[in-house]
């Protein structure tokens, strides 16, 4: 199980690497759960992490605008991200999700087939008004994506486990693996959730708040990244 840490700038990325993060996920929390950062911020982190860890970049909590999303995905890929992560917040149906992800995957893979594409849904989809994450493994696989993920859309302190049971998450992971995808879990993960996550054993867990001292608006701390890594062993 790999640890993905989401810094918003070069200083936080340096702390995430120092703490032993397996994947550095460049995002901008000021623009939402999967808020997109600037191309130059992605490029700076890619240069910092070269030879140490792969870099992921979020492209936003997206409305149903496949062309806009595809162009954003190409921008992240061209900026050097190894993983391009799309949040399907404004997507209401599996058909819309497929159209979105097909365009995003083509934009990234036409540029560099080695790069990986992540389709992210939201555990709190009902209150966010988006498509159920349980429908995404089949969609992501058909579109040619590499990973499927679940996060929380609304960052109000309620974790993914408030919205999806252990059984729900097991089914999500199993469905992802059955479709040949890697699976990532995220969404206000706390230290109290780590034992459960170890039992669930997704391929990746994604964190920010837990390594910022509990406040995702604060800065990533290397010692907290290291602590999470140790507790996941």
Q: What is the CATH number of the domain that holds 193?
A: 3.20.20.70
pLDDT at residue 58 above 90? yes
Instruction: Output the pLDDT for position 197.
Output: 97
Distance CA 179, CA 81 (A): 24
Q: CA torsion, points 208, 176, 119, 183, in degrees to nearest 10?
A: 20
Mean per-residue pLDDT for 148-158? 96
Task: List the catalytic residue out of 65, 85, 92, 115.
Answer: 85
How many domains does the structure of the chain reveal?
1
pLDDT digits (tens, 9 = 90+) for 82-93: 999 999 999 999
Instruction: Output the pLDDT for position 217.
Output: 87
Instruction: Output the pLDDT for position 85.
Output: 98
pLDDT digits (tens, 9 = 90+) for 106-126: 999 999 999 999 999 999 999
pLDDT digits (tens, 9 = 90+) for 133-146: 999 999 999 999 99
Give the β-pairing of 204-207 and 2-5.
Answer: parallel
pLDDT digits (tens, 9 = 90+) for 155-201: 999 999 999 999 999 999 999 999 999 999 999 999 999 999 999 99
Instruction: Confirm whether 27 is a catalytic residue.
Output: yes
Share of the chain above pLDDT 90, in %: 98
Instruction: Output the pLDDT for position 94.
Output: 97
Distance CA 149, CA 120 (A): 4
Which whole-number Å values give the CA distances from 112 to 103, 104, 183, 222, in the listed order? 14, 12, 22, 32
Q: Which domain holds residue 19?
A: 2-231
Predicted TM-score of the model (pTM): 0.96
Compute the chain's Rg from CA coordinates.
16
pLDDT digits (tens, 9 = 90+) for 6-27: 999 999 999 999 999 999 999 9
């Amino acid at each position: 199980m790999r640890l993905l840490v989401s810094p918003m700038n070069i200083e936080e990325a340096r702390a995430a690497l120092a703490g032993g993060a397996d994947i550095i996920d460049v995002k901008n929390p000021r623009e939402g759960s999967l808020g997109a950062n600037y191309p130059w911020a992605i490029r700076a982190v890619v240069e910092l992490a070269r030879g140490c860890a792969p870099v992921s970049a979020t492209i936003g909590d997206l409305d149903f605008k496949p062309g806009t999303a595809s162009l954003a995905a190409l921008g992240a890929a061209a900026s050097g991200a190894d993983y391009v992560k799309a949040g399907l917040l404004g997507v209401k149906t599996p058909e819309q999700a497929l159209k979105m992800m097909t365009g995003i995957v083509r934009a990234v893979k036409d540029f560099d087939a080695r790069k990986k594409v992540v389709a992210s849904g939201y555990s709190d989809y009902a209150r966010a008004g988006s498509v159920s994450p349980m429908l995404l493994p089949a969609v992501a696989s058909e579109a040619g994506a590499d990973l499927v993920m679940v996060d929380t859309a609304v960052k109000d302190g309620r974790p993914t486990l408030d919205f999806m049971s252990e059984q729900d998450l097991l089914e999500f992971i199993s469905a992802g693996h059955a479709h040949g995808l890697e699976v990532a879990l995220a969404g206000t993960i706390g230290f109290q959730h780590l034992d459960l996550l170890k039992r669930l054993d997704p391929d990746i867990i994604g964190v920010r708040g837990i390594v910022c001292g509990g406040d995702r608006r604060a800065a990533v701390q290397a010692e907290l990244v290291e602590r999470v890594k140790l507790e996941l062993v």
